Structure 1
Amino acid sequence: MYKFLAKLNKLILPSLTKQKLDVTKASKWQKALLAYRYYITIRSLD
């Protein structure tokens, strides 16, 4: 299930690292998006 979500995230959600986002200056929704993508990615690797 997590592998599917990781592929779906890659297709749909914006890549904030490619936009050179500074995490210290990120808004709350950008931090939430980063945390969500991190969680799904870590779970898909297991």
Structure 2
Amino acid sequence: MYKIIAQINKILLPSFTKQRLDLAKAKKWQMAIIGWRYYVTTKALGN
């Protein structure tokens, strides 16, 4: 299930690493997206 969500995230959500976003200067909504993507990716790799 998490693998499917990870694929959807990859398509729909922006990649901040490609934009070279500085985490110290990230806004709260950007940090929320980063956290969500991290959570889903770790769950997808763990299963």
Q: Could you tell me the percent identity over the aligned residues?
A: 54
Structure 1, gaps ≥5 residues long: none
Normalising by structure 1, we get a TM-score of: 0.97
Task: State the Cα RMSD in Å.
Answer: 0.4
Distance 1:11 1:32 in 2: 17
Q: How many residues align?
A: 46
Structure 2 stretches of 5 or more lacking a match? none
Q: 1:44 deviation in Å?
A: 0.1
Tell me how far apart the structure 2 counterparts of residues 2 and 29 of structure 1 sit (CA, whole Å).
22
Structure 1 runs of 4+ off > 6 angstroms?
none
